[in-house]
């Protein structure tokens, strides 16, 4: 695949509103260089994909390498170079030619209808019973899980994705906030471990654990970055039984 200043990203979570998705993508990819635009659409043929248009091909290459397989809204991103030059880029270098409007064929309409009818309804929020209580987790499990997570090899194709987020929010406060409220911390987790885990996400400031309580607060520079960390680590399995529960802190 030839290098291109535009990246093609797929396997994106299409349950996420496209505008939110574009903002979140910008948060992560902008760390690698200037972004001209992000194109993402929600139609049947185009959902779950996005084009990240960088100012520089080098930035595209760096982000491709380091974000390949990055767990994003619970799905590992698959990233490649775009097959063609983006219109904005072609317009800038004077090579843009008007593309003929495509005709939507009757057959395509039929297919689209069939596909949406076959699409399963969104799963109900899971209140699944916790896994059978096995032997008490050794203290090292939490550490190991975190190390596995932060030592995540960017070149692997199948990234270890956090367990599906339990949508059983104890805290109904959905108001975005640059501070995250973390629940379900196993007793053996330490502030150092927590910061290792949360530091992977851009904008990380600090973790504040609350003595005697299995909760913590994690600060980011802004609420988008906090949102990124929340999506990335939601349901993270600290032990096979204990999964992190993340919400925005109350303002």
Partner DNA sequence: AGCACA
Which stretches of the chain bind DNA, using CB under 7 A?
Answer: 1, 6, 8, 10-12, 14, 39, 41, 43-49, 51, 53, 80-88, 99, 102
User: Minimum Å distance from CB 52 to DNA?
Assistant: 9
User: Minimum Å distance from CB 170 to DNA?
Assistant: 31
User: Minimum Å distance from CB 15 to DNA?
Assistant: 11
| Residues ≥6 apart with Cβ < 8 Å to 173 | 247, 248, 250
Nearer to DNA, 99 or 105 (CB): 99
User: Minimum Å distance from CB 5 to DNA?
Assistant: 9
Nearer to DNA, 80 or 240 (CB): 80
**9-12 long-range Cβ contacts below 8 angstroms, 24+ apart:** 9/49, 9/50, 9/51, 9/52, 9/77, 9/78, 9/79, 10/48, 10/49, 10/50, 10/78, 11/48, 11/75, 11/76, 11/77, 11/78, 12/40, 12/48, 12/49, 12/50, 12/72, 12/73, 12/75, 12/77
31 phi and psi angles, rounded to 5 deg: -65, -15
Nearer to DNA, 11 or 205 (CB): 11
Terminal C-alpha separation, the chain: 47
Rounded to whole angstroms, how far apart are CA atoms 113 and 69?
31
Q: What is the SS3 assignment for 67?
A: helix
Q: Which two tokens stand for residue 154?
A: 């960017």
User: Minimum Å distance from CB 94 to DNA?
Assistant: 15
Nearer to DNA, 6 or 239 (CB): 6
Nearer to DNA, 22 or 208 (CB): 22
Nearer to DNA, 90 or 210 (CB): 90
Rounded to whole angstroms, how far apart are CA atoms 225 and 140?
29
Q: Is residue 86 within 8 Å of 39, Cβ to Cβ?
A: yes
Rounded to whole angstroms, how far apart are CA atoms 160 and 152?
8
Nearer to DNA, 50 or 197 (CB): 50
User: Minimum Å distance from CB 41 to DNA?
Assistant: 4
User: Minimum Å distance from CB 38 to DNA?
Assistant: 9
């Amino acid at each position: 695949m030839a290098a291109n200043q535009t990246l093609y990203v797929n396997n994106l979570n299409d349950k996420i509103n496209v505008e939110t998705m574009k903002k979140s993508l910008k948060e992560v990819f902008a760390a690698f260089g200037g972004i001209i635009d992000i194109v993402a659409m929600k139609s049947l043929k185009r959902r779950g994909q996005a084009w990240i248009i960088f100012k520089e091909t080098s930035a595209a290459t760096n982000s491709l390498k380091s974000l390949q397989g990055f767990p994003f809204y619970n799905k590992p991103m698959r990233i490649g170079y775009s097959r063609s030059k983006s219109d904005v880029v072609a317009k800038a270098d004077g090579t843009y030619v008007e593309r003929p409007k495509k005709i939507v064929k009757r057959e395509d309409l039929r297919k689209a209808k069939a596909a949406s009818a076959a699409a399963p309804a969104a799963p109900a929020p899971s209140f699944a019973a916790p896994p059978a209580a096995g032997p008490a987790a050794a203290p090292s499990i939490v550490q190991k899980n975190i190390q596995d997570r932060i030592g995540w090899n960017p070149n692997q194709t199948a990234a270890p994705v956090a367990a599906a987020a339990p949508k059983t929010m104890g805290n109904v406060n959905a108001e975005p906030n640059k501070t995250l409220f973390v629940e379900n911390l196993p007793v053996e987790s330490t502030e150092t471990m927590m910061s290792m885990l949360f530091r992977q996400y851009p904008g990380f400031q600090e973790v504040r654990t609350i003595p005697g309580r299995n909760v913590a607060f994690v600060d980011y520079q802004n609420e988008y970055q906090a949102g990124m960390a929340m999506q990335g680590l939601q349901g993270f399995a600290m032990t096979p039984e204990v999964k992190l529960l993340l919400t925005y802190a109350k303002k």
